[in-house]
Amino acid sequence: MQVAGIVLFVLFIIISLSIGYKPGLEIYTNFISLLTKMIKILPCAFILIGLFEVWIKKQTVQNNFSGIRGYFFAILLSSSTMGGLYVAFPVAYSLCKKGVKMEFVFTYLFASAVFRIPMTIYEASFLGLKFTSIRLLATLPLIILASIFMGKYLDKNPHFGIQISRENRQ
């Protein structure tokens, strides 16, 4: 099924390029732009994630991602993650494999969309430090509460197919 989708996409792009179909040309341009961004970011990210998985022990990660300190480390890690969600999801997967509780993984994912240092600096330069500070302080408790809720919900409902952390917790 996935191969058929890829073949249809390629055929659509070839036909669009040959007849000059404008929406198809825009899709092709956006696809190439996204692909070049991913090719620039992902190889370095995967190398660093691989080193993280090999060099850092499971017990060390689990000790640091527990209690209130776990939320702090999740937010600190997410704020220093470059590459946006392209990198955040593989890092979250790696954290799951290390046995980190889902609430801390969700904190990392949610915070990686909000607390990235380059994005925050860019925002502060355009909208002001006061606005950026208020936004960060308002979203911080919401991120933590949503993470706790989702983590506990997934612990009670294992039918969602997220078995990685459950297998490694034992």
The CA distance from 170 to 161, in Å, is 17
pTM above 0.95, yes or no: no
pLDDT in tens, 133-147: 999 999 999 999 999
Average pLDDT of every residue of the chain: 86
51 part of a folded domain: no
What's the number of domains the chain is made of? 2
- pLDDT for the residue numbered 19: 92
Asked if residue 64 and residue 10 are part of one domain, the reply reads: no
- pLDDT for the residue numbered 15: 92
Higher pLDDT, 29 or 165: 29
47 part of a folded domain: no
Say what percent of the chain tops pLDDT 90.
39
Asked if residue 63 and residue 37 are part of one domain, the reply reads: no
Higher pLDDT, 167 or 90: 90
- pLDDT for the residue numbered 170: 44
Asked if residue 147 and residue 66 are part of one domain, the reply reads: yes
- pLDDT for the residue numbered 163: 56
Asked if residue 163 and residue 127 are part of one domain, the reply reads: yes
Asked if residue 162 and residue 135 are part of one domain, the reply reads: yes
The pLDDT of residue 162 is above 80:
no
- pLDDT for the residue numbered 165: 44
The CA distance from 93 to 86, in Å, is 12
Asked if residue 62 and residue 29 are part of one domain, the reply reads: no
Asked if residue 96 and residue 34 are part of one domain, the reply reads: no
pLDDT in tens, 78-136: 988 877 778 888 889 899 888 888 899 999 999 998 888 888 888 999 999 999 999 99
Asked if residue 151 and residue 79 are part of one domain, the reply reads: yes
Q: Buried b / exposed e across 57-78, counting CB within 10 Å, b at 16+?
A: eeeebbebbeeeebbebbbebb
149 part of a folded domain: yes
36 part of a folded domain: yes
97 part of a folded domain: yes
The pLDDT of residue 166 is above 80:
no
Asked if residue 128 and residue 62 are part of one domain, the reply reads: yes
The CA distance from 150 to 152, in Å, is 5
Structural domain boundaries, residue 145: 56-169
135 part of a folded domain: yes
Asked if residue 77 and residue 30 are part of one domain, the reply reads: no
Asked if residue 163 and residue 99 are part of one domain, the reply reads: yes
13 part of a folded domain: yes
4 C-beta neighbours (distance < 10 Å), count: 8
Asked if residue 20 and residue 80 are part of one domain, the reply reads: no
163 part of a folded domain: yes
Do 8 and 14 form a contact (C-beta atoms < 8 A)?
no
Do 71 and 144 form a contact (C-beta atoms < 8 A)?
yes
